Amino acid sequence: MSIPAFGLGTFRLQGQVVIDSVSAGLELGYRAIDTAQIYENEAEVGQAIAASGIAREHLFITSKIWVANFARDRLIDSLKDSLHKLQTDYLDLTLIHWPSPEDQVPLEEFMGALLEAKELGLTRQIGVSNFTVDLMKQAIAAVGAENIATNQIELHPYLQNRKVVEFAQSQGIRITSYMTLAYGEVLKDPVIRQIADRLQATPAQVTLAWAVQMGYAVIPSSTKRANLASNLKACAMKLNDADMALIAGMDRGQRLTSPKGIAPNWD
């Protein structure tokens, strides 16, 4: 099953807030949900999914293995715990959330354990997140490019990450864009607003449509039902070549997330 182009992110949402967001998203038509062990909301996400009554085969659920669970004797058990919290027998996609800090766990070890989880049927697809070109090359050497469905990276008009994108795409690895709206910064940008005014759209719709049109999967989040509904309309939008060129020119290498002690040496 290919990765849906449009999904619902749950970063920073917890408790009743994430239950309400996922519940509203599912009611509106979202079918891909992205979470992670470190978000500490898998149980609530699972609760909202279960309450929705939507058949499991119609959903695409992604979670990510946290760095503390990379060791071979911990990764699969931690994934089973995630499955229990999410009230499902399998994930559609399981990612390595960040590279191992200071290579405390060898890449071959955690990628091998993740591939084993796939072979056991605990996850349909596997992938990585926050991987540089060098780390992707190492992951490909460990498990083969055919076993890496995506690299989920920070990607927005201000950080277009072209080296990583080009290498991933050359290997048949899909890019998933997170923080596509740059914490809302791009929504105030005059270039985005100009395009939005012409299309009678919102700046968020324009930015998300740009990412989808570039071939990326996107996973925006919101706590507001109106924004969830509005974002979803980006799927039907079409930007022209001039619009795409204007947004391409917005890249300024502005990285917004780079946690100390965990982030790799970025490209």
For residue 36, give the CATH number of its domain.
3.20.20.100
Per-residue pLDDT band at 45 (split at 50, 70, 90): very high
Is 156 assigned to a binding site?
no
Q: What are phi and psi of 120, to 5 degrees?
A: -80, -5
The reported pLDDT for the residue numbered 240 is 98
Residue 87 lies in a domain: yes
Going by their DSSP bridges, the two strands 123-129 and 8-9 should be labelled as unpaired
Task: Answer yes or no: 39 catalytic.
Answer: yes
Q: How confident is the model at residue 84 (pLDDT cuts 50, 70, 90)?
A: very high
Residues 226-245: what's their mean pLDDT? 97
In-domain check, residue 1: no
pLDDT tens readout for residues 9-19: 999 999 999 99
Residue 209's contacts (CB-CB under 8 Å, 6 or more residues apart) are 201, 234, 235, 237, 238, 239
pLDDT over 70 at 1, yes or no:
no
Question: Which one from 39, 158, 178, 216 is the annotated catalytic residue?
Answer: 39
pLDDT at 211 over 90: yes
Helix-strand-coil percent breakdown of the chain, rounded to 5? 50, 15, 35
The answer to whether residue 261 sits within a structural domain is: no
Confidence (pLDDT) at 187 = 97
Residue 145's pLDDT band, with cuts at 50, 70 and 90, is very high
Residues 172-194 have a mean pLDDT of 98
Per-chain mean pLDDT for the chain: 98
Tell me whether residue 15 is exposed, middle or buried, using C-beta atoms within 10 angstroms of its C-beta: 0 to 12, 13 to 18, 19 or more. exposed
Q: Which residues contact 145 (CB under 8 A, 6 or more apart)?
A: 171, 172, 173
- In angstroms, the CA 49 to CA 56 distance is 9
Structural domain range at position 182: 8-248
Give pLDDT, residue 74.
98
213 is a domain residue: yes
Give residue-wise pLDDT tens across range 130-143.
999 999 999 999 99
Average pLDDT over residues 241-248: 98
Residue 121 lies in a domain: yes
HEC assignment per residue over 165-192: HHHHHHCCCEEEEECCCHHHHHHHCHHH
Q: How many domains does the chain have?
A: 1
Residue 260 covered by a domain: no
Query: Taking the mean position of all CA atoms in its chain, how far away is CA 1?
Result: 16
Please tell me whether the overall predicted TM-score, pTM, comes out greater than 0.95 for this model.
yes
The proportion of the chain whose per-residue pLDDT surpasses 70, expressed as a percent, equals: 100
Could you tell me how far CA 164 lies from the centroid of its own chain?
A: 15
Is residue 215 assigned to a domain? yes
